[in-house]
């Protein structure tokens, strides 16, 4: 089976490359550096359609997105293009080829309404900013297309690849005598390799058909950004840095971030028989890998 992965050089794309090594399926990763790099402009509907038809793609895993939450407030047109219009292109192309779209969405589709229990898949989306709104529009575009699709909302993604919170805090806790980190935003970190492994498992076991719908996936457990940073420092040995909790309003932002965006993972675990790792266990694995590089 031919599987197209967009955003192959991003965090999740790189982790899917790891997961798919040795697979009997043919994975086609876009935007990965090398002699046979595959270029695909997902905002070009005709280019997407040709790619899918010419390669007889039966599954698209869409890891591409506009993810700069703050910049999106001033760059809404591009965010909408990448997070919604491009998603519609992928959905329509895979529907025409009788395939399935696996799309990655975000906890930022929630946040405006106050709540303190884990978000379920059927909870109404109430984004607080442009990024979350455009990602919600992408989900809506998939529904409107009528294609077979699995949407995975995730949160606080990190990995050994690219720029992310873990790598930033590894550097800051090693070089700064003191840090202030917000404690009034609560969620769950997600190791991108865990999410990639889950997606690969679902594809490899051919569990897409009959299980279409929206799912939540993050690691298990709950923490604040302050707690997250404390564990990053502890596991990396950067214990000399004095890490102090602070309120979100001490760091003014154009975007009101969700104060509580814990995702309920009951559905994804039951439907696909997944064991989801606890967030500190996965964080340790990632830091070990980073320190060995």
Tell me which residues are annotated as active site: 131
The packing angle between helices 279-292 and 225-236, to 10°, is: 40
Q: How far apart are CA 286 and CA 52, in angstroms?
A: 34
Which residues are CB-contacts of 92 (< 8 A; sequence separation ≥ 6)? 45, 49, 145, 147
Residue in the structure block whose two tokens are 């294609």: 147
CB 190 within 8 A of CB 198: no
Phi, psi dihedrals of residue 78, rounded to the nearest 5°: -70, -40
Tell me the CA distances in angstroms from 151 to 49, 121, 224, 292, one per residue in order.
20, 10, 25, 34
Tell me the CA distances in angstroms from 121 to 104, 107, 109, 222, 236, one per residue in order.
14, 10, 11, 18, 35
- CB atoms closer than 10 angstroms to residue 128: 19
Q: How far apart are CA 118 and CA 121, in angstroms?
A: 10
Nearest to 125 by CA among 266, 185, 135: 135
Q: How far apart are CA 10 and CA 63, in angstroms?
A: 7
Tell me the CA distances in angstroms from 72 to 41, 75, 95, 161, 260, one per residue in order.
20, 5, 29, 22, 21
Per-residue DSSP letter, 263: B
Instruction: Indicate the burial class of 153 (C-beta count within 10 angstroms; 0-12, 13-18, 19 or more).
Output: buried
């Amino acid at each position: 089976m031919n599987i197209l992965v967009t955003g192959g050089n991003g965090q999740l794309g790189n982790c899917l490359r790891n997961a798919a090594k040795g697979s009997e399926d043919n994975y086609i990763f876009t935007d990965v550096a090398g002699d046979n790099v595959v270029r695909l402009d997902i905002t070009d509907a005709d280019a997407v359609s040709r790619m899918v038809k010419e390669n007889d793609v039966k599954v698209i895993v869409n890891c591409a997105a506009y993810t700069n939450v703050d910049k999106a407030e001033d760059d809404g047109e591009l965010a909408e293009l990448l997070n919604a219009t491009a998603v519609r292109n992928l959905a329509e192309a895979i529907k025409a080829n009788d395939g399935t779209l696996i799309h990655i969405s975000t906890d930022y589709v929630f946040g405006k309404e106050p709540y303190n229990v884990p978000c379920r898949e059927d909870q109404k989306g109430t984004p607080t900013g442009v990024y979350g709104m455009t990602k919600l529009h992408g989900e809506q575009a998939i529904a409107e297309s009528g294609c077979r699709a699995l949407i995975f909302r995730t949160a606080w993604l990190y990995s050994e690849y690219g720029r992310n919170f873990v790598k930033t805090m590894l550097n800051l806790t090693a070089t700064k005598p003191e840090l202030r980190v917000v404690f009034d935003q609560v969620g769950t970190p997600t190791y991108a390799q865990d999410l990639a492994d889950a997606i690969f498992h679902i594809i490899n076991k051919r569990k897409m058909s009959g299980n279409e719908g929206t799912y939540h996936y993050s690691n298990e457990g709950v923490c604040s950004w302050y707690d997250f940073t404390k564990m990053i420092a502890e596991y990396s040995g950067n214990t000399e840095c004095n890490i102090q909790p602070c309120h979100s309003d001490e760091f003014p932002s154009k975007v009101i971030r969700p104060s509580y965006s814990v995702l309920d993972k009951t559905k994804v675990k039951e439907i696909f028989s997944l064991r989801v790792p606890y967030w500190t266990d996965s964080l340790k694995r990632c830091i070990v890998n980073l320190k060995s590089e």
